[in-house]
Homo-oligomer: A and B are copies of this chain.
Amino acid sequence: MQILVINPNISQSVTDLIEAEARRTASPDTTLKMATAQFGVAYIETRFEALVGGYATACAAAEHAGQFDGVVVAAFGDPGLAAMKELFDVPVVGMTEAALASACLLGQRFSIIAISNRIQAWYRECVAANGLSSRLASVRSLQEPLRDIGSVQEDHAARLEEMSLQAVQQDGADVIIVAGAPLAGLARSLKGRIPVPVVDGVSSAIRHCESLISLSPGHATQGSFARPPRKPNQGLPESLAKLLD
C-alpha cells in the first residue's frame, strides 16, 4: 500500500525526522511518499499557523491525488485534518488523533509533552475537538525558546524526561504522549525510563493508517464527510479544483 505523509510546515529537517520514524514503523509492503508544505511557517504553534498549514497540506495532497491509499498529516494538532477527510476517498489520519487512539487503548488518562508554552492552547483545543478532554490529565511543555526545530529532542532531553515523570507522578497520567513532529522518535528513547507507556504520534499515525486501509471500511458518499457538494469555485490550485469536480 502507498501512504502519502505530509509535513504541514516548511522545514525539511522536520520532514526528515518524520520520515525516519515513519520508515522505522511502516510494514514491509508499505510504500511511503513524503511531502513538505510548499508554503507556511517553520513549525506550527498557533491557530493561524495551523490554518496556513492546513491549507498547504490540502494543496500538497491534491498534487498527489490518485497516487495513494492513505494519507498521514504529520503535525501534532492535525491542521486541516477534517477538511482532508472530506476531500479524499481513502483514510486520512492525523498525528494527534492517532496518538490519542493509541493512548486511549493503553490507559484511561494521558498527558501531552509539548515543545513550547505557546503551543498548549492549540493542543488543548485539538483534544477538545476530539471529544477527549475528560481523559486529558495535563499538558506540560518546554518554556525556553527553541534553538533549532530539528534538534529539539537532543537539546532538551533531560527536561523532556523530567516533564514526563512529573505528568505520571503529579498529574495522574496513565500514558505519556510525546507531541509534535520535532519530537518524532523520542518515545523510543524514553521507553524504559518512564514508568508508563509512551506514545509517539508519527509511528501511531503510520500504523493506524495502515490498519484503516487494511480494514477497508468503505468511504463516505453521504453524511458530513462525503465530498463537498459541487458548486462554483475560483482561484484554487488546479489540482485542488479538480478534486471538487
**Which residues in A have some Cβ–Cβ distance to B below 8 Å?**
10-11, 25, 38-43, 45-52, 54-56, 58, 80, 82-87, 91, 93, 97-98, 100-102, 104-109, 116, 118, 120-122, 125, 128-135, 168-169, 172-175, 187, 191-192, 194-200, 203-204, 207-208, 211-212, 214-226, 228-229, 231-236, 244
**Distance A204 CA – B172 CA, assembled complex (angstroms):** 28
Q: Which residues from chain B contact A93 at a C-beta distance below 8 Å? A: 105
Residue of B nearest to A81 (CB): B47
Residue in contact with A104 in the complex, picked from B49, B80, B130, CB distance below 8 Å: B130
A129 neighbours in B (Cβ, 8 Å): 125, 128-129
Is A42 a contact partner of B231 (Cβ separation < 8 A)?
Answer: yes
Count identical subunits in the complex. 6
Are A211 and B208 neighbours in the complex by a CB distance under 8 Å? Answer: yes
Partner of A215 from B85, B109, B203 at Cβ < 8 Å: B203
Could you tell me the distance in whole angstroms from the C-beta of A30 to the nearest C-beta in chain B? 12
Report which of B106, B169, B172 forms a contact with A212, defined as CB distance below 8 A.
B106
Given contacts A121-B224, A129-B129, A225-B174, contact A97 B105 (CB under 8 A): yes
State which of B195, B229, B233 has its C-beta within 8 Å of the C-beta of A45: B229
B108 touches A91 (CB 8 A): no
Whether A198 lies near B220 (C-beta < 8 A) is no
Contact of A224 among B52, B104, B107, B219 (CB under 8 A): B107
CB <8 Å contact, A168 and B223: yes
